[in-house]
Amino acid sequence: MDWICTDTRTRKQYLPLLFQEIQWPLIRCAKYYTDTLMDPFVMDHPECARIMDEAEDYFDLSYEEKLEYWENNTKPSRWPKLMAVLPYAEKLIEAFDFEQEKWFVLTEKPGYDMGSTLCYLNGKLYSIGGVQSKAVEQFDVETEEWRDYFPSLRHCRVAHGVTVYDNQIFVMGGSAKANANFGPGLYEMETISFSQKNEILHDWKIAATMQEGRSFLSSTSCNGKIYSIGGCINEQFSTSEVWSKDTLQFQPVANSLSKRDSLGCAVINNEIYAVGGYDNVSNKYLRSVDKYNPGTDSWEHLPDMKTERRSPGVVVYRNKIYALGGMGVSDDLVSVEVFNSSTKEWKNFPFPLQQVAGWCSACMVDVPVRMMHGAREYKKQRQGSCNMMATGGGNGGQDFEEEDDYELSAAGAAGGGSTPNGEMNLDWRTTENARTEQRLKKHRKQMEGN
C-alpha cells in the first residue's frame, strides 16, 4: 500500500495484481482485515473485494475448521517455520520461533536413541535411527503427540543421511556398528512413501545401493534427485552420488574440492551447499563451505564460517543457511551462524541454542495451526499517509472532491478518515460504497452476535 499510495494515478492499476500476493491466513490480526475492509480505495476493485471475501471466510473459521481447511488446501508459500534441533545424546527437541525470536522445548522424545536424525514431512516430525537402532518415531506437531508405533528401518543406522522428497523419506548410508568409529559405511538407501493424508503407502524398502559405503555423510534432495554428499571414505577427496527416479540407480557426480565428512547440507536455488564437517585424513575440524551446481556438475569454494563445526545441524530458511551447534575444536558448540546467499557473508545469530549443544540434527517445521490461531498484537507499521488522489468516476462510481492535498492513511481509515488540514472527515461506516457498506454490516452483525 505504501508503494501504491506514493503515486496512485499510475500505480492504482496494479493493486489487484499485488493483492493476489497477500496471504491473508498468515495475517493473524482481525484489525488488519477490518482496516482494509473499510478502505474504499481497496474495495472498489472487484478482484480485491473477492480476495477480502475469502479472507473473511477464513477468519470466521474455528480452530477445528481451520485444521480441516488445511487438510484440503495447500498452505501459503510464506507459511512461518520453526527451526527444530535434536542433539546427539539427548531426548529434548528444541525449536526456534522466528516470530517470537526465542527458543523453546518443542517436545521430548519417548525413546532414547543416541545419534537419531530429524526430518519433517506433512505436519509430522520424525526421529530416525541411532546407535544400533532401527527405530523411527513420529511426532504430530499439531496435536503434540508421539505415535505409539511406527515401522522400523530395515537396517540399524547411525551417522546416516536423511532427506524428504515427493511424500517420501529417504534414509541412506550410516553404520550399523557401535564401536568408536561406528565401523564401515552402509551402501543401501531405503525409503517409505506416504499419501497426502499421511497414510503409509508402503513400508520401508531398499530403493537403491550407493557405489560406496558411506557413514557421516549428508543427504539432500535437489531438482527431484537425491544426493549423497561426502562421508567417511578413504580417498584424499570426497566423492558424491546422485539418485533419480528415472534411473533408480546412484551415479557419481564431481568430486568435492575438499575432504569432508560429518557435514551439513542445504539447498538454495537448486544449488547444494556443503557446510563444515571434519577431515578424517588430516584430523581437521572444518569451517569451510563448498557449493555444488548440478547444472554444470562443478564445485566452488565459498567464504568460511567463523567457527569450525563438526556435525552441525544445517537448515535453510528464506534463502539463508543456518549452521547450528556442532562439535568445536575444544568444546561442544551452542552458537549459531547465518549465511546470506545474496551477500555471501556469515554472521553470528544473536540467539544461541539453549538446551542443545554439540553434534546435532536439525530441520525446518511448519508452525502448527494451534500456534497461529490466536490473534497477534496489532501494530501500525505504516508511518506515512496514503496519497490517494481523487479520480472521479474512475473509482467504482464514487466521486471524491478532487484536492491535491488529500491524504489518508490506509491503515488508519477505520478511525474516521480525518485529513491533515481538517477539511474532510469521512466516516467509512456510513459510506455510500455498496460493497464496503454490505461487508461492514455483516461484520457488525458478527460482532454483535459474539
Model confidence pLDDT, tens digit, residues 293-340: 999 999 999 999 999 999 999 999 999 999 999 999 999 999 999 999
Question: Is the same domain home to 59 and 85?
Answer: no
Residue 223 in domain: yes
Residue 57 in domain: yes
Q: Nearest CA to 242 among 257, 268, 221, 267?
A: 221
Residue 261 in domain: yes
Residue 401 in domain: no
Residue 107 in domain: yes
Quote the number of domains for the chain. 2
Q: What is the pLDDT of residue 449?
A: 61
Boundaries of domain holding 27: 2-74+411-449
Question: Is the same domain home to 36 and 96?
Answer: no
Alpha helix stretches (DSSP H) within 193-300: none
β-bridge pairing 168-172 and 161-165: antiparallel
* Last residue of one domain, picked from the residues 371, 393, 420: 371
Task: Report percent pLDDT > 90 for the chain.
Answer: 63
How many whole angstroms separate alpha carbon 226 and alpha carbon 241? 8
* Last residue of one domain, picked from the residues 339, 371, 403: 371
Q: What is the pLDDT of residue 293?
A: 97
How many whole angstroms separate alpha carbon 337 and alpha carbon 276? 11
DSSP label at 326? B
User: Is the full-model pTM beyond 0.75?
Assistant: yes
Q: Is the pLDDT of residue 249 over 60?
A: yes
Q: Give phi and psi for 135, each to the nearest 5.
A: -65, 140
Residue 380 in domain: no
In this structure, the number of other CB atoms found within 10 A of the CB of residue 6 comes to 12
Residue 399 in domain: no
How many whole angstroms separate alpha carbon 398 and alpha carbon 432? 8
In the chain, the N- to C-terminal Cα span, in Å, equals 31
How many whole angstroms separate alpha carbon 105 and alpha carbon 96? 9
Phi/psi-derived region of residue 183, left when phi > 0, alpha when psi is between -120 and 50, beta in every other case: left
Residue 400 in domain: no
* Last residue of one domain, picked from the residues 322, 345, 371: 371
Task: Output the CA angle 377-381-382, nearest 5 degrees.
Answer: 145
pLDDT digits (tens, 9 = 90+) for 35-71: 888 877 788 888 998 998 898 889 889 999 999 999 8
Over residues 284-293, mean pLDDT: 96
How many whole angstroms separate alpha carbon 244 and alpha carbon 225? 5
How many whole angstroms separate alpha carbon 207 and alpha carbon 221? 15
Q: Give phi and psi for 250, each to the nearest 5.
A: -85, 135
Instruction: Write out the three cell numbers for 347.
Output: 554472521
Partners of residue 252 on adjacent β-strands: 241
Question: Is the same domain home to 67 and 88?
Answer: no
Question: Is the same domain home to 231 and 345?
Answer: yes
pLDDT digits (tens, 9 = 90+) for 337-391: 999 999 999 999 999 999 889 999 999 999 999 998 777 666 554 443 343 333 3
Rg (CA), the chain: 27
Question: Is the same domain home to 289 and 343?
Answer: yes
How many whole angstroms separate alpha carbon 212 and alpha carbon 172? 11
Amino acid in position 446? Q
Partners of residue 169 on adjacent β-strands: 164, 192
Q: What is the pLDDT of residue 448?
A: 58
Q: Which helix (H) or strand (E) holds 68?
A: helix 63-72
Amino acid in position 83? M
Q: What is the pLDDT of residue 31?
A: 81
Question: Is the same domain home to 326 and 444?
Answer: no
Specify whether the CB–CB gap between 217 and 261 falls below 8 A.
Answer: yes
Question: Is the same domain home to 65 and 126?
Answer: no
Question: Is the same domain home to 272 and 299?
Answer: yes
DSSP label at 37? H
Question: Is the same domain home to 330 and 220?
Answer: yes
Question: Is the same domain home to 9 and 140?
Answer: no
Q: Which residues, at least 6 apart from 72, have a Cβ–Cβ distance to it below 8 Å?
A: none
Over residues 246-261, mean pLDDT: 92
Over residues 144-150, mean pLDDT: 95
Q: Taking each helix axis from N to C terminus, what angle separates 30-37 and 434-449, rounded to the nearest 10 degrees?
A: 150
How many whole angstroms separate alpha carbon 347 and alpha carbon 440? 48
CATH code: domain of residue 327: 2.120.10.80
Question: Is the same domain home to 355 and 432?
Answer: no
Specify whether the CB–CB gap between 177 and 183 falls below 8 A.
Answer: yes
Question: Is the same domain home to 204 and 98?
Answer: yes
Residue 430 confidence class, pLDDT cut points 50, 70, 90: very low
Place of cell 488445511: 70
Instruction: Write out the three cell numbers for 36.
Output: 482494509
In this structure, the number of other CB atoms found within 10 A of the CB of residue 51 comes to 18
Maximal CA-CA distance, the chain: 83
